[in-house]
Structure 1
Amino acid sequence: MAQTVLVCVTLLLMAFDLCYSDCKFVMKTESECLENGIPHSVGSMWKGDDCYSCYCGKVTAICCTEYVQTPDIPNNCEAIFDKRLCRYRIYSKDNPDILCE
């Protein structure tokens, strides 16, 4: 029962994140999910490439980004994605050493 509740909560959170993130479907067989050739069992969750969180369900498998897509930024700034932190950092176009607010 607790596992069912955990899966439902996870799926609800992932659905909420769909509004703000990018998702992709992962290849699914009857017994496992394959992401980049790596098998994952049904019910498992894992961290995929490029800041994706993945879930292998009974019917489908999905991976969604853990970060908000390109944010709205002022014209004098630019967004650069930091893969280490899994988020965009906003820098001044005139001086890339200065973060925009």
Structure 2
Amino acid sequence: TLHFFLLDMQTNEMKVLQAVFCMLSILQLCHGVFSSGECYFNAKASCEHNGHVFDIGEAWINDECFQCVCFEPFGVGCCEQEKQPVDFPPWCEAIRKPDSCTVAVVMKANHKLPCLSGGKTRLWKSENDPLF
């Protein structure tokens, strides 16, 4: 009986190690895909968001624009979903559009004006239809 107990304990430890390795691999993948690269893991989090319960492996976008993956019963891993622009003039800044996970590069002096990179296409239909 002791032999089977030890064998069972090793099997459980192996499952935990495999799950941890899987979580770390997915978080590393998120880190490589998303340019801003911020990721975190919450071992106490539940796989629930806005009243919806997610199964292991399912993903959702949380209120902070992080893509989260359910690792029930081990917790939740999340990585920043939005890509951050990095090459724009100093008089411009990247900001997140209100109530959205979309990032836009706009003029620091006037957030209604986008920073254009020499393109001829207008980003809005008329003067009264600004970016925000």
Coarse TM-score class (shorter-chain normalised) = 0.5 to 0.7
Larger Rg: 2
Structure with a larger share of its residues in helix = 2
Query: 1:14-71 deviations in whole A, cap 9, x for unaligned?
Result: 2422553322212347xx54679x8644332222122111112265531112112363
The number of residues matched between the two structures is 92
Q: Is 79-88 or 11-20 further displaced after alignment?
A: 11-20
Q: CA RMSD in A?
A: 3.6
Structure with a larger share of its residues in strand = 1
Question: Which residue in 1 is equivalent to 2:40?
Answer: 24
**Structure 1 stretches lacking a partner, 5+ long:** 1-6
Distance between the aligned counterparts of 2:31 and 2:81, measured in 1?
12
Question: Which residue in 2 is equivalent to 1:96?
Answer: 111
Give the TM-score taking structure 1 as reference length. 0.59
Identity of aligned residues (%): 28
**Structure 2 stretches lacking a partner, 5+ long:** 1-21, 117-132
CA shift in 2, pair 1:67/1:44, >3 Å: same
Distance between the aligned counterparts of 1:33 and 1:86, measured in 2?
21
- Contact 2:84 2:94 survives alignment (8 Å): no
Which structure exhibits the higher relative contact order, with contacts defined as CA atoms closer than 8 Å and separated by 6 or more residues?
A: 1
